[in-house]
Amino acid sequence: MLHGLTRMGGMIRSFVVLFIFALSGSAGLFADVAKPQIPASRGAQCVEPVEIMRRNHFEFIVHQRDLTVHQGIRTKRHSLAGCIDCHSTKTAAGQYLPVNAEGEFCQTCHTYAAVKIDCFSCHAAVPTEKISQSP
Amino acid sequence: MTRLMNCPDPSPAAPARRTFFTQAGVGVALLALAPGVRLVDLARARAEDEPVTSANRWGLLIDTDKCQSGCDECVSACNEEHGIVGHGRPETDAQWIRKVDLKDDQTGHELSIPVLCQHCEEPPCVDVCPTGASFRRDDGIVLVDKHICIGCRYCMMACPFQARSFIHEELTGQRTHAPRGKGTVESCTLCVHRVDKGEQPACVEACHREGHDALVFGDLNDAEDQLTKLTRASATRELRPELKLNTSVRYTRF
Amino acid sequence: MSQTIFHPSRSSRAFWGTCGVLVVLVLIGLFAAHHMESAGHWVTGMTNRVVWGMPHVFAVFLIVTASGALNVASIASVFGRSDYKSLSRLSGLLAAALLIGGLSVLVLDLGRPDRLIVAMTHYNFRSIFAWNIFLYTGFLGIVVVYLWMMFEPRMNRFVTRVGTLAFAWRIILTTGTGSIFGFLVARETFSSALLAPMFITMSLSFGTAVTLLLGALVFRLKGENLPAELTGKLARLLGYFVLSVGLLVAVSHLTHLYSAGHQDIERFLLIDGRPYSLLFWIGQVLLGTLVPAVLLLSDRFKRAVSVPLGALLVVIGGLAQLYVLIIGGQAYPMSIVSGFSESSTFFDGVIAMYRPSLPEWGLGVGGMALAALIFLVGTRVLPFLPVPTPDQPRA
């Protein structure tokens, strides 16, 4: 009986600790990881609202890639090349930096979120041709 | 037996006189064309948000008499267009189009032809791909969806033309319109990024620039298209006809 | 007939020492796979002409052997030969272990092994490869259920039914594996309906050989020998299987030799194609067929070493056979324009040079080691091995 109570107490203690930990994470109490410093992009605004892009950009990209590859639909709004066109930055010398390089647009958030991206093993990470910038 | 042999040969391997007029006609027709412009009405070009349909069937005709031995402009143009560079390892370096030098075993006759993905109507590579990455688009172009290619290379085993290449190393500096990466399989896309904009494949343009005009691109489903007219007028064949693949790439008879 | 009692392997220095060696080989294999994946396949001997190399030789060998290794259990459950029952459990474990080893090599050699999830969620059902994914994973599931039926006394009455399903599944699986090559219409070296039955026969041969070898190993590690009478029967069976494979190989070549169009490829494989002709005659025919047949079937050469030596030679001959089939078949140039000699910058018309690289050897041997390791550790964890009956001589 006593043994059971001790175990119960231990479990409750663990849950309380976890709960505080979770709360503190959202309140920033234990936030020692710096938020990503996202480089400025060209154009007034993105093709979709920021909140939607933050959560769903990969859905747009995945859906678009299937349309492009299988059906030849090459609209610019959700094309990966379109993203890179606006979101890549240039050095002082005028050379484009790859969007998956350290500190660049894609890499800052993805490092923060610890999500590995696979796009740029195949796709060009810098703009190599003029893609229309209007959504 | 003798009577049969004396009959005029009705087969497409026509006597030299007929072939000469056909080829002269083809030559005149080709010279009249400017690069990048098709005889098809440009207003019918597909909008960028319209899916491809089987209304078109893109094809290529290769004139084996016009193709010159020693010239590989089509290969250079393809490499330039898609950012294909050699790594000094010819056995593993990718080749989307290549010149094959042929010599007839019986007669010794020599010629040179470009060999590339034949964009078959019944592609063996599409049949064998386990994930469906190798597929045939509705307009006849056979492609690899590199997002779902797992790099098993079964399609390379299955291709009757050795048309596919595997990427054996990390790549950088890809062209925006030609994504390619380590561990996936690729082959000639018939310059699908150009075709979708209403332009000609890079190899066709280059051959025209060189003045040989051995490559003709067009829509096999369009009776008015010069490609279709040429394949009707002159004797053409596909490679490995016994396999009955019904390829979109055809060669004048040799 | 007394009821067989089963027990696990005995823990001993020799046992864990063997496992230790196998672990090292597995780690080498994993390192080789990592190197191939990160640097790219240019570090291997595989090229755009010879796209499947040494890893595939080992993987196909392991998968074909896995299917055949279940044969001993089938003889007991499906064909009612209760004298083989003592080795049924071992047979099931061995089949599963070999299949896992083979699949590991296959998956780790992929250009994009990180896309295994894609392979398991996107299927093109015209592809025999896609069917094989189901056949292989289904086989593992069925073997697990089969073993459960054998282990759990209340389930013993289902052994025949599950065993029959396993038997049928095996035959279909091996047909599927042979058809990977048989369905390649483009290549004269492969395209053949004969490959499916040939692979089935090969599975029976290699499976029985590996059962004898690994069975003997695990018994020796607990200080015993395989039951002598059973070993004798399996050895005779193996001899017949070896001859059956030889028959099918002979028929295949004779048929090709009959056709003028196939003379060149036959000359390449049988006479002047280095190293394929040597591997064929010395590896496959002499060491893999004739010598084992004599050792296993002839009464004159009955020694203690005849059976393990014969079984080992069958394994070597099997690897040689697969090397000649898979790699020799790709090394010979495919004719794109018949009646013409071809040459190009993409090596048309020439025999492709292939030399297996160290990473490929590492990966292939690692897969074999993984299979053996799973088998040995399995016998330690659960009672797979029969306790010797009083009439059996101890080591």
Place domain C12-228+238-334+343-351+360-382 in its CATH homologous superfamily: Formate dehydrogenase/DMSO reductase domain (1.20.1630.10)
| Predicted confidence band of residue C1 (pLDDT cuts 50, 70, 90) | very low
Alpha carbons B41 and B221: distance in angstroms, whole number: 14
Structural domain that includes position A40: 33-135
pLDDT tens sequence across B181-211: 999 999 999 999 999 999 999 999 999 999 9
Q: What tens digit of pLDDT does each residue of C134-154 get? A: 999 999 999 999 999 999 999
Please judge whether C352 and B91 are an interchain contact, meaning their C-beta atoms are less than 8 angstroms apart: yes
C382's tokens? 């659960």
How does the average pLDDT of chain B come out, rounded?
87
In chain A, the number of structural domains is: 2
Q: Identify which has the larger pLDDT, B132 or A88.
A: B132
Same domain, A130 and A110: yes
Question: How does residue A134 score in pLDDT terms, banded at 50, 70 and 90?
Answer: very low
Q: Say whether pLDDT at A55 is over 60.
A: yes
**Weakest mean pLDDT among A31-45, B89-103, B147-161, C178-192:** A31-45
Domains of chain B: 13-252 (3.30.70.20)
- Is residue B36's pLDDT more than 50? no
B53 Cα to chain A: minimum distance (Å): 8
Residue C170's pLDDT is 96
**Same domain for A70 and A80?**
yes
Residues A37 and A27 in one domain: no
Residues A92 and A26 in one domain: no
CB pairs under 8 A between B and C: 172
Mean residue pLDDT across chain C: 94
Interface with C, mutate which of B118, B122, B153, B159 (most C CBs under 10 A): B153
pLDDT above 70 coverage of chain C, percent: 98
Contact map slice: A 18-37 vs B, CB within 8 A: none
Q: A39 and A3 in one domain? A: no
The model's confidence at residue B7, banded by pLDDT at 50, 70 and 90, is very low
- State residue A35's pLDDT score: 82
Is the pLDDT at B55 greater than 90? The verdict is: yes
Contact C340 B103 (CB under 8 A): yes
Is pLDDT of B16 > 80? no
Cβ separation of B89 and C347 shorter than 8 Å? no
Mean pLDDT, rounded, for C7-29: 95
Residue A122 and residue B174: Cβ atoms within 8 Å?
yes
Tell me: pLDDT of C393 over 60: no
- B128: helix, strand or coil: helix
- Count of Cβ atoms closer than 10 Å to residue B170 Cβ: 13
What are B102-158's pLDDT values in tens digits? 999 999 999 999 999 999 999 999 999 999 999 999 999 999 999 999 999 999 999
Reported as a pLDDT band with limits 50, 70 and 90, residue B20 is low
How far does C216 lie from chain B, in Å, by closest CA? 36
Q: A128 to chain B: which residues are within 8 Å by CB?
A: 175-176
SS (H, E, C) chain C: CCCCCEECCCCCHHHHHHHHHHHHHHHHHHHHHHHHHHHCHHHCCCCCCCCCCHHHHHHHHHHHHHHHHCHHHHHHHCCCCHHHHHHHHHHHHHHHHHHHHHHHHHHHHCCCHHHHHHHHHCCCCCCHHHHHHHHHHHHHHHHHHHHHHHHCHHHHHHHHHHHHHHHHHHHHHHHHHHHHHHCCCCCCCCCCCCHHHHHHHHHHHHHHHHHHHHHHHHHHHCCCCCCHHHHHHHHHHHHHHHHHHHHHHHHHHHHHHCCHHHHHHHHHHHHHCCCHHHHHHHHHHHHHHHHHHHHHHCCCCCCCCHHHHHHHHHHHHHHHHHHHHHHHHHHCCCCCCCCEEEEECCCCCCCCCCCCCHHHHHHHHHHHHHHHHHHHHHHHHCCCEECCCCCCCCC
**A2 and A67 fall within a common domain:** no
Say whether A72 and B196 touch across the interface (CB within 8 A).
yes
* A122 and A70 co-located in one domain: yes
- Domain boundaries of chain C, sorted by first residue: 12-228+238-334+343-351+360-382
CA distance to partner chain A, nearest, from residue B236 (Å): 29
A117 touches chain B (CB under 8 A): no
Between chains, do C129 and B128 touch, taking CB under 8 Å as contact? yes
Of the listed ranges A117-121, A128-132, B44-48, the one predicted with least confidence: A128-132
- On the question of pLDDT at A33 being above 90, the answer is no
Report the gap between the CA of C375 and the closest CA in chain B (Å).
Answer: 28
* Interface predicted TM-score of the whole assembly (ipTM), two decimals: 0.93
CB of A134 within 8 Å of any CB in chain B? no
Residues A71 and A133 in one domain: yes
What's the pLDDT at A12? 81
Chains that touch B (3 or more CB pairs under 8 A): A, C
Task: Extract the tokens encoding C291.
Answer: 């010598």
Residues A13 and A51 in one domain: no
At C304, the pLDDT band (50, 70, 90 cuts) reads confident
* A79 pLDDT higher than 70: yes
Longest Cα–Cα distance of chain A, Å, equals: 75
Q: Quote the pLDDT of residue B71.
A: 96
Contact A127 B176 (CB under 8 A): yes
**Res C26 pLDDT > 60:** yes
A122 and B196 within 8 Å at the Cβ level: the answer is no
pLDDT-derived band at A10 (thresholds 50, 70, 90) equals: confident
